[in-house]
Structure 1
Amino acid sequence: SQASAAGPAFNQTTLTISNSVELLADKFSISRQSAFELIRMLNDLARNPSPDNVTRLSQAVGQMNATTSEGKLALSGFREELTLAGASAANAEQAVKDLENQLSSLRTQAQQANFDNISKQESQRLFDF
């Protein structure tokens, strides 16, 4: 088969994905399809850790249906953690933007001060002649 021809690395990756799907399906008492989607979204988040992706993941988890009370509790706890992480990420993103704005303002002030200093020096040189 094609899978066998792809070699051991492909087989190992397939086994890892399959085991991960089973683990999440069991932990959250969700379907294998939902577990696979969760893994896909977690992978997307790992590649692009943004507040929007955390929110998207949290919303998707909120729509998943656990079949046991333990699964519902686990999903709820996971969603709470995602919500907190999303808020922290959004706060961090805003803090970085605020810092960038402050640095830009400081650069502008420093440039203006430098320009003023140069202007004074040039004016003084002109008056000295």
Structure 2
Amino acid sequence: MLRWIAAAPAVAALTACGTGSDEPDQLLPLAAAAKADAALADAIARTHSGLAETARELAAARTAHATALQREIDRLAPRDPEDPPSVPDPAPKKAPSSASAAADALRTAAREGQQQAANLVPGLPGYRAGLVASISAGCACLQEVLG
């Protein structure tokens, strides 16, 4: 009995590190959305010079989000370095034709990224909740920049 009690913390630590589930990682859609937002912002930066600086900032932030999420996904489910990332790059994006529609698309991307992340936080364990909450906060800041 004492051995079992002594081993309990080690067992708890091991089970906390893995998902223990055959379900897809909850962070996959969030990472895919971050990559898609970055691709859209890059397309807008190339097409609309008046929005280029702001779009590049959004693209850089969402690329950083996607990278952090991919690292966390890979931490829990290590993959062979020869395999492609579990979150593929999105198809090339086309910027809206008008600057007004492009600005709206950037605002929508930031708002939806913030909401998607915020909705996911309550169901995540410790570190992951902190990571996703910081992404939600980052997207909220982007919304302020975009107006």
Instruction: Give TM-score, length-normalised by structure 2.
Output: 0.36
Q: Which has the larger radius of gyration?
A: 1
Instruction: Give TM-score, length-normalised by structure 1.
Output: 0.40
Q: Using CA pairs below 8 Å that are at least 6 residues apart, which structure has the higher relative contact order?
A: 2
